[in-house]
Each structure stands twice: as structure tokens, then as C-alpha cells.
A = this chain, B = another copy of it.
């Protein structure tokens, strides 16, 4: 059985074939996020959560270009990053619901997750200098490994980002900044919070920058493979900017965008395009992932509450 499916439709944003495992992952993340929102609506999530609906293809595309020894700094909108790296929906959902088997015992919750080679914090921008420090370590001890920090467009408001880029550029650190530019930060459109451009910000430090608009996982890989390699082999930082639509609310029920705007954003959803390009495989995969997520939800909801304490510490 081939793991790659040929595209049916000519033209359109999906120009490459699809790997089944990519589609699996794309749809796992989509349905996971949808389930989280549903659980939230049902009052089963304590606190807050930020879903990555519309942005799933970024971690999915990068997944095969990343190595096990790379260190990833995710952010508040990090479920997709986690699932693409670890494929562990139960551990993540348990974390969000505070159930046994939670990857961080329910202590960190949705936006504070740490697992080998992966870390999220809840303070915007804070991770970038930390990622620079990790890059320095990797450069010396695991040459060729990357320190990757995911940030949103709005996070360019934070001074910490610039302090880190300056050091990373000066010391030629293998830091890859992945910017998920979804045109908005909480409620603020990018035009209202970011002057100039992200490309310009990268250039300010002499860093390479590429902007990618495609929702096509295969195409993205073609475009950015060389960029990652350059950061790895030259040990210098780079910035990758992905233009993506944020299709869900910022966290929960707090979307103040106009319906027309959302409609037009939905036209950019990888989901539609993949559905159109690979209708059969898509339907079959979606069904499978919907069920898989439902099973995970059922199973995790049935678990006892997580425990935390010196005893429980791993």
C-alpha cells in the first residue's frame, strides 16, 4: 500500500501529492482542536486554551524536516506543535483536562508544556532568548541541531525577540524562528500592532527570511528545506514566516472579527484544499481521525484526576 496519494484535481493551492501520515496528522490536529473547543463549551476545560485551527499545516510540514535532537519552543497556540512532534493526543488532552497521564501532570496546562526537546511558556516573547541559549548549547554539543522557536506575528511587539535575534546573529546560533503570521494578535489586526514587515525585522539583524503562503505541506517542504539546512550547516539563525489564517477564536468565544472576514479566511484553509484535491483519501482519513479523537476524548475523560507532588514527579 502506497503511503502517498496522488492529487486528483489540477491547479489550486495543493500542487503536490499528499503523504497519508501528513493528512492523518493534519486531521488529527484539526479534530483534536475541535474537540477541545467542544469540551470547553461543555464546561469541562478549566481556564483557557488557544486552538490552532487553520494553522495545522505549519507544524505538519516542518515535522519531517526536523530532527529528534532539535529543540522546539512552542507557544500558547501549541497543540499542533506538540501533536506533530509527539503524536500523543491522550497525553495532551489529559494535560488540558487535568487527568491522569497528563504530560505535565496537569500543572502546566495547555500553554505550559515541557517534554524532551519541547517547551512552551505562557509569556509572549519570553521563549526567544531562551531558545537562543539552547541554540548556543546545541551548536557546541550537537552541531547540526536546531533550536526552533514558534511565535506569532503579534509577539514581535516584545523587546525580548530583538534582544535574542541580536545575540543569535552576533554569535551565529542555529536558531530558527518560525513565525505563524495569522494577521491578528488576540483582537488586534497586524496592521495595528506591527509596523514595517517581519522580513524587514529579520533583515535588521542580517538574518535570512522567507515568507511562505502555501497551505500545501509538500510545497512548503520544498520551499523551506534549504533554509533549515542552511541554519543547520552554517549554524546561523533564520526566520521563516508562514502566512496562515486563524480560523478559530483567540481562545474561546472571543472572536470579534466580522463574518465576511472569517468567510474569506476560510477560503485559505488547507482543509478545503486537501479535501478538494484528495476527496476519497480525505473522507476516509477524516472519518478515522474523528473517531480516533472521539476515542481519546472518551478515554481521557474517564481517567481520574492527575496528581502532583514530589512523589508524582518523574
Interface residues of A (CB under 8 A from B): 156-163, 165-166, 169-170, 192-197, 200-201, 203-207
Contacts and interface: CB of A to CB of B under 8 A. Distances in A.
Contact of A204 (B158, B192, B201): B201
30 contacts: A156-B166, A158-B159, A158-B163, A159-B159, A159-B160, A159-B161, A159-B162, A159-B163, A161-B162, A162-B162, A165-B195, A166-B193, A166-B194, A166-B195, A169-B195, A169-B196, A170-B193, A170-B194, A170-B195, A195-B205, A195-B206, A196-B203, A196-B207, A197-B204, A200-B203, A200-B205, A200-B206, A201-B204, A203-B203, A203-B204
A312 B197 CA distance: 51
B200 A204 contact: yes
A216 to B, nearest CB: 29
Number of this chain's copies in the complex:
2
Nearest to A172: B195
A135 B256 CA distance: 31
Contacts of A160: 159
Contacts of A165: 195
Contacts of A156: 166
In the complex, which of the residues A162, A165, A194 has the most CB atoms of chain B within 10 Å of its own CB atom?
A162
Contacts of A207: 196
In the complex, which of the residues A158, A192, A195, A197 has the most CB atoms of chain B within 10 Å of its own CB atom?
A195
Nearest to A167: B195
A158 B194 CA distance: 18
Given A165-B195, A170-B193, A203-B204, 20 more contacts: A158-B159, A158-B163, A159-B159, A159-B160, A159-B161, A159-B162, A161-B162, A162-B162, A166-B194, A169-B195, A169-B196, A170-B192, A170-B195, A195-B205, A195-B206, A196-B204, A196-B206, A200-B205, A200-B206, A204-B204
A263 B163 CA distance: 33
A239 B25 CA distance: 47
Contacts of A161: 159, 162
A156 B195 CA distance: 18
A267 to B, nearest CB: 28
A205 B203 CA distance: 11
A205 B170 CA distance: 21
Nearest to A198: B204
In the complex, which of the residues A156, A201, A207 has the most CB atoms of chain B within 10 Å of its own CB atom?
A201
A196 B169 CA distance: 8
Contacts of A205: 195-196, 200
A194 B162 CA distance: 11
Contacts of A204: 196-197, 200-201, 203-204
A204 B207 CA distance: 12
Contacts of A169: 195-196
